[in-house]
Structure 1
Amino acid sequence: MKSVCNIAVELLKPGAAHSPAAAHSRLGAEMCKELKTKVLRLLPPTSNGPSVHQGDQTDGAEILSCTVKALKEGHVVAVPTDTIYGLACLAQNSEAIRKTYDIKGRNGQKPLAICVGETQDIYKYCKVPVKEPLLEDLLPGPVTLVFERSEVLNTDLNPFTSLVGVRIPDHAFMRRLCQMCGEPLALTSANISSHTSTVAVHEFQELWPKLAVVVDEGPIGDQSRLGSTVVNLSVRGKYSIIRPGCALSCTVDVLEHKYGLSEE
């Protein structure tokens, strides 16, 4: 396998040497050597051409393979999602969960969500009282659904609550990453706790030395920084909004008008 530091440079488009993305990639490659942090440049989908994970399967596969390897070894990685950049580790790995809290300086009583690749995966780790079509209407997308956790989920993940939030980002790389890991990822925002959410990797550069891999897809989406809409669906026939996030109105519309749920 090629050096991942070289991959970070090679995945840049020709002629982009003076762009901000190129500057960040060069910096990433330099930090690679110094910090042993692998900074990998993943080209986002474009309207006039294929994305790296569609049109350049070899390099895209290398980035996925490198990230999966780091996760399987118990490390924490930074990844793009459909809303903001996140920190991820294997949810079933208790030591990796502790690392994630340490990296963020996060209050131990604040929960981490889990991220899975397919709707069917939710049923393994959560007790789901809603109809499957409801899940399919909201996921994949910028929504975190909160359910009662199942006995299969690691008891060291959010041991202070019987609930867990679950995400399927509308993001091909993240979904494939979960599928390749074969188990849920614990997912939280890529920033120091209480700091602003990040939509570009340079915004959380102070965390890079503590991460095994940083997957850089450039600036994310509309850069709203609101994160996903978090909704509690653990009570049958009811819903409650935990965090408004970026998809509040459309989420409430689906819950109330299509499925007849009422707000607690």
Structure 2
Amino acid sequence: MIIKEVVNELIKGKTILYPTDTVWGLGCDATNVEAVQEIYKIKNREESKSLIVLVSSFEMLEQYVTVPHVAKEILEKAVKPTTIIYQNPKGIAKNIINKEDNTLAIRIAQDEFCKELIDTFAKPIVSTSANVSGNPTPKSFSEIEQSILDDVDYIVNLHQNKVSEKSSTILKLEGEKVIVIRE
């Protein structure tokens, strides 16, 4: 039932606060420019700083980017949530894409709630840490700043006792070269 409620909010272009496979995240429809603008406003973040997008499967990933062989190998071996920065994304809100090099950071969700949410919505969703830009990333729901709670349209009432110590690993691909952005 909660999945339907959240999907209805995403369809309406609303922002959500939700538990991800890493930390609590701010999210929205990753194909909706206006919804993405709201995420930047909530975070007080410049649009020049790109956001992470979650997909539910490798098949969904391939709808938005060309996946190099090295990325397939990394994803098959990854034991923790791994975000990869891909070249030349398509079908995504333009204000998520890094304007300098036309790249997009995407992670295949590992969390069952996130996977089901994205599958039901049938589109990627934004996933950025639930903090004002420059402030520490909250490790639990209780650490989320009041301004975030006030500004987001919908708060998912699930796993609010969950504590997460780690954000995802972020890797950037340049041809076959892999650059570690965050471990």
TM-score scaled to structure 2, two decimals? 0.89
Whether the 8 Å contact between 2:16 and 2:154 is mirrored in structure 1 is yes
User: Following the alignment from structure 1 to structure 2, what is the Cα–Cα distance between the partners of residues 165 and 150?
Assistant: 9
* Contact kept? 1:178, 1:184, Cα under 8 Å: yes
**Which structure 2 residues correspond to residues 26-175 of structure 1 after superposition, within 5 A?**
62-130=1-69, 132-138=72-78, 141-158=80-97, 160=99, 161-175=101-115
Instruction: Tell me: higher relative CO, structure 1 or 2? Use CA pairs within 8 A at least 6 residues apart.
Output: 2
Q: Which runs of 5+ in 2 are unaligned?
A: none
Q: Which residue of 1 aligns with 2:159?
A: 217
Q: Which runs of 5+ in 1 are unaligned?
A: 1-61, 245-264
The structure having more radius of gyration, on CA atoms, is 1
Could you say what the CA RMSD is over the residues aligned between the two structures, in angstroms? 1.8
SS of equivalent to 1:83: coil
Amino acid corresponding to residue 138 of structure 1 in structure 2: A
Aligned equivalents of 1:154, 1:82: Cα separation in 2: 23
1:205/1:151 CA distance change after superposition, 3 Å: closer
- Quote how far apart the aligned CAs of 1:142 are: 1.4
Separation in 1, partners of 2:102, 2:15: 24
Secondary structure in structure 2 of the residue aligned to 1:90: coil
- TM-score, normalization: structure 1? 0.63
Deviation at 1:154, TM superposition (A): 2.6
Check the 8 A contact 2:47/2:95 in 1, yes or no.
no
Q: Percent identity?
A: 26
**Where is the helix percentage greater, Structure 1 or Structure 2?**
1
Count of aligned residue pairs for this structure pair: 179
Report runs of 4+ in structure 1 exceeding 6 Å deviation. Answer: none
In structure 1, C-alpha distance between the alignment counterparts of 2:134 and 2:27, rounded to whole Å: 18
Partner of 1:176: 116
